[in-house]
Amino acid sequence: MSTTEQATQYTNVGEEILAGKCVVITDSVYNINSDIALLTEEERARANRFHRIEDRDRYIATRTFIREIISATTGIKLSAIEFGKTEKGKPYLKDNKEIHFSISHSNSRIAITVSKGYECGCDIEETDSRKISDDIIQTHFHKNELTMIEQENKTTCFYQCWTRKEALYKAFGSGLPDDLASVDSTKSLQKINGTFFQLKTFQLIDGYILSIATSGDQAREIIVHER
């Protein structure tokens, strides 16, 4: 399948985004027809700086993937899509400030979230009980999160809380705060510096957890496409 054909398959996704829905697409890096020729000179240079080939391939696949979705949504040619970064490092689309997006990956799975007219953030993680640290839980988790972890499935709750924190601050456009324990991710409605955000979490295939944050005090319709 050519890159052009791949972009065409996201036409329905583009229509959903333009209709105001927050759309998430998850896929394996191995299913994406990566095209390094679409990347800018700066992006190609960054790709070549990765020491591990799997990191390089995932980076190229991600940059190809987001271009296909944005092209289907905006009509901008794949090769003409350019990204910028805010002072705090949040990526944005240079040619269309109405379209917002967020990228996350865990192992070989990539998640891309796109919205129109409001901010979005996403975080995906493969659940693995071996990677859970009690020190992290005690240091960075709110008392309500600790209660939930104690009363329910520890692994599921840990990754739910962590991905919700990550997604929230990606949508806000900054890194995680130093006092992460002050963030109570068990609440769906959050407020940062006067801006409201809504949180939602999904359990995906193959043991992945995905959390989405959208700006606004009303819940957005979120559509998740798993590929």
pLDDT score recorded for residue 194: 96
For residue 11, is pLDDT > 80?
no
pLDDT score recorded for residue 188: 97
Give me Rg for the CA atoms of the chain: 17
Tell me which residue range forms the domain holding 143: 3-226
Residues 6+ apart with CB under 8 A from 144: 184, 186, 187
DSSP state, 204? -
CATH at residue 182: 3.90.470.20
Beta pairing partners, 121: 213
Q: Is there a contact between 103 and 93 (Cβ–Cβ < 8 Å)?
A: no
Q: Phi and psi at residue 172, in whole multiples of 5°?
A: -70, -30
Please give, one letter per residue, the 3-state secondary structure of 38-77: HCCHHHHHHHHHCCCHHHHHHHHHHHHHHHHHHHHHHCCC
Q: Is 128 helix (H, G, I), strand (E, B) or coil?
A: coil
**pTM recorded for the entire structure:** 0.92
pLDDT score recorded for residue 95: 85
Cα atoms in the Cβ-side hemisphere of radius 13 Å centred on 96? 20
For residue 99, is pLDDT > 80?
yes
How far is Cα of residue 144 from the mean position of the Cα atoms in its chain? 25
Q: 146-205 pLDDT, tens per residue?
A: 999 999 999 999 999 999 999 999 999 998 999 999 999 999 999 999 999 999 999 998
Q: Is there a contact between 174 and 146 (Cβ–Cβ < 8 Å)?
A: no
Q: 26-80 pLDDT, tens per residue?
A: 999 999 989 999 999 999 999 999 999 999 999 999 999 999 999 988 889 998 9
For residue 8, is pLDDT > 50?
no
**Distance (Å, rounded) from C-alpha 39 to C-alpha 28?**
19
Which stretch of 45-59, 84-98, 101-115, 136-150 has the lowest confidence by average pLDDT? Answer: 84-98
For residue 4, is pLDDT > 60?
no
Tell me the two tokens of residue 139. 């240091």
Q: Find the distance separating the first CA and the last CA of the chain, reported in whole Å.
A: 15
pLDDT score recorded for residue 7: 43
The H-assigned helical ranges of the chain are 3-8, 11-18, 41-49, 53-74, 134-140, 143-151, 154-172
**What average pLDDT does range 195-218 have in this prediction?**
96
pLDDT score recorded for residue 3: 39
- The domain tally of the chain equals 1
Q: Is there a contact between 186 and 199 (Cβ–Cβ < 8 Å)?
A: no
